[in-house]
Amino acid sequence: MKVLWFTNTPSLAAAHFNLPVIGGGWIESLEARIVQNEDIKLAIAFRQGDEKLQKIDGDRTTYYAIPQKRKSKAREFIDRHYSVMDDEEMVKYCLDVIEDFQPDIINIFGTEDSFGLICKRTEIPVVIHLQGILTVYEKKWFAAQINKWDLIKNSGIKSLIKANSLLHTYWRFRKASHREQKIFSGCKYFMGRTDWDRRMSSVLSPDSKYFYCSEALRARFYTEQWNKNTAEEKIFVSTIQSNIYKGLETILECAVLLKTIKKFDFKWYVAGIAADDIIVKIFEQKIRKKFGDYNIILSGRLGMRELMDIELNADIFIHPSHIDNSPNSVCEAMLLGMPVVATFTGGTGSLLKDREEGLLIQDGDPYAMAGAMLDLVNDPVYASKLGMNARLRAMSRHNADTINSDLTSIYSTILKGTVTEKKQ
């Protein structure tokens, strides 16, 4: 079976293209497992470079680096202002890859990029592995009570002129969400792992078929295990992206409450966001508090080992996002056996059972977050029990052999169904 993936990362091709690797990721883990199947010949295509389409034959995988078309500075300037996307150019490159590799089935990871537009341009069956769903994310973009004026006044004249501001980022995001709806309408097969993404696909693509398939996470998270000894100073950790809908403001508001209560000393590490990030400035002005004044350490992007060292020494993992499908950061914390407090939004309710494998709270509620954290700090035995239960759930859900079996079975089912349709 010849399988072609379109991904938003170079996966294990990073070494071939001399690209920086920050501890791997779930697609890399999946590739490492799937290529062990002797009956699968895999190719992976991804955005990389600005020259011509490149093809590299790896040890077990063929890689295609799809270039982003070079433009004049004037054209780039205009395109940024009008949120022009390279959909047609990208689809043409994708069709070139398909023509060269001649796959039996195509697996696209995510609906965020233009890859999914090929569904209506090829006879080869396409299945999309759902990640985030922009159509809903766009509706949550301003969930942190930030408005467009906040984005404008904190952007600076240069970024507004160059169309690099957060407001322009939002406009591009909104346009991508409209493209995503076209992708959904054109695709017949989807894979996902939560009730939320299953329900979204049933609405956005009513005639499609949905398959369950979990994700293979980074290997080190399976072998390490959390076993925090109690200490006077409590350590909290969160991993979030630099987006205003990821709940960074709730972390600050919660930390203010915890410091006011004065029940214990703490440090709160936030990986993924640096201290000089523009959203840090926006939230500090909005809340009129400084992150550094409330023991919040904005660590920026961390490598896997750095992140694991913090998590293994932390008391609680907190996920504050206003919207998510199945955040890998939560899944990895569960694999380690950490006590988790997460917002009950999007697909998180499918990841853990409230009060059995972690604590779920409403998004944007710093009081409930602080209260949940107090519950776990005040009862470390209960916290450890939640962590152990979470680890058992995650080890089963993210079992690499099961995922490999599920994925290959999905491919076979789709191919058999396609053959049947052609005969009819």
Residue 420 has a pLDDT of 59
Q: Which has the closest alpha carbon to 93: 123, 120, 126, 69?
A: 69
Q: What is the DSSP string of 342-392?
A: EE--TTGGGT--BTTTBEEE-TT-HHHHHHHHHHHHH-HHHHHHHHHHHHH
Q: What is the pLDDT of residues 336-393, one digit of tens each?
A: 999 999 999 999 999 999 999 999 999 999 999 999 999 999 999 999 999 999 999 9
Q: What is the pLDDT of residues 385-399, one digit of tens each?
A: 999 999 999 999 999
Percentage of the chain beyond pLDDT 70 is 97
Residue 278 pLDDT > 60: yes
Residue 422 has a pLDDT of 56
Least confident of 76-80, 240-244, 250-254, 412-416: 76-80
SS3 content of the chain, % helix, strand, coil (to 5): 50, 15, 35
Residues in a beta bridge with 239: 271
Instruction: Say how far apart CA 20 and CA 43 lie, in whole Å.
Output: 21
Q: Is 263 helix (H, G, I), strand (E, B) or coil?
A: coil
Q: What is the pLDDT of residues 116-158, one digit of tens each?
A: 999 999 999 999 999 999 999 999 999 999 999 999 988 889 8
Residue 81 has a pLDDT of 87
pLDDT band for 419, please (50, 70, 90 cuts).
Answer: low
Cα Rg of the chain, angstroms = 22
Residue 424 has a pLDDT of 46
Strand order in the sheet with 316-319: 296-300, 266-271, 234-239, 316-319, 340-343, 359-361
pTM: 0.94
Q: Which has the closest alpha carbon to 220: 358, 332, 366, 338?
A: 332
Instruction: Say how far apart CA 233 and CA 315 lie, in whole Å.
Output: 10
Instruction: Say how far apart CA 235 and CA 226 lie, in whole Å.
Output: 13
Which domains, and CATH codes, for the chain? 2-216+400-423 (3.40.50.2000), 220-397 (3.40.50.2000)
CA-to-CA dists, residue 101 to 1, 41, 104, 124, angstroms: 12, 10, 9, 12
Percentage of the chain beyond pLDDT 90 is 81
Q: What is the mean pLDDT of residues 272-299?
A: 96
Residue 160 pLDDT > 60: yes
Q: What is the pLDDT of residues 213-229, one digit of tens each?
A: 999 999 899 999 998 87
- Unique residue bearing structure tokens 């295609």: 64
Residue 179 has a pLDDT of 97
Give the number of residues written for the chain.
Answer: 424
Q: Is the separation of the CB atoms in 13 and 423 below 8 Å?
A: no
Residue 23 has a pLDDT of 47
Q: Is the separation of the CB atoms in 137 and 241 below 8 Å?
A: no
Q: Per the structure block, which two tokens stand in for 342?
A: 């997460």
Cα 281 versus chain centre, distance: 24
- Unique residue bearing structure tokens 């011509």: 52
Q: What is the pLDDT of residues 166-207, one digit of tens each?
A: 999 999 999 999 999 999 999 999 999 999 999 999 999 999
Q: What is the mean pLDDT of residues 86-105?
A: 96
Q: What is the pLDDT of residues 317-341, one digit of tens each?
A: 999 999 999 999 999 999 999 999 9
Q: Is 319 helix (H, G, I), strand (E, B) or coil?
A: strand
Strand 234-239 and strand 266-271: the pairing is parallel
Q: Is the separation of the CB atoms in 100 and 55 below 8 Å?
A: yes
Strand order in the sheet with 54-57: 54-57, 61-66, 41-47, 2-6, 105-109, 126-129, 189-192, 209-212
Instruction: Say how far apart CA 419 and CA 411 lie, in whole Å.
Output: 12
Q: Is 278 helix (H, G, I), strand (E, B) or coil?
A: helix
Q: Is the separation of the CB atoms in 110 and 8 below 8 Å?
A: yes
DSSP state of 18: T
Q: Is 167 helix (H, G, I), strand (E, B) or coil?
A: helix
Instruction: Say how far apart CA 143 and CA 155 lie, in whole Å.
Output: 19
Share the mean pLDDT of the chain. Answer: 93
pLDDT band for 235, please (50, 70, 90 cuts).
Answer: very high
Residues in a beta bridge with 90: none
Q: What is the mean pLDDT of residues 99-114?
A: 97
Distance between terminal CA atoms of the chain? 23
Q: Per the structure block, which two tokens stand in for 255?
A: 């930390």
Instruction: Say how far apart CA 208 and CA 198 lie, in whole Å.
Output: 11
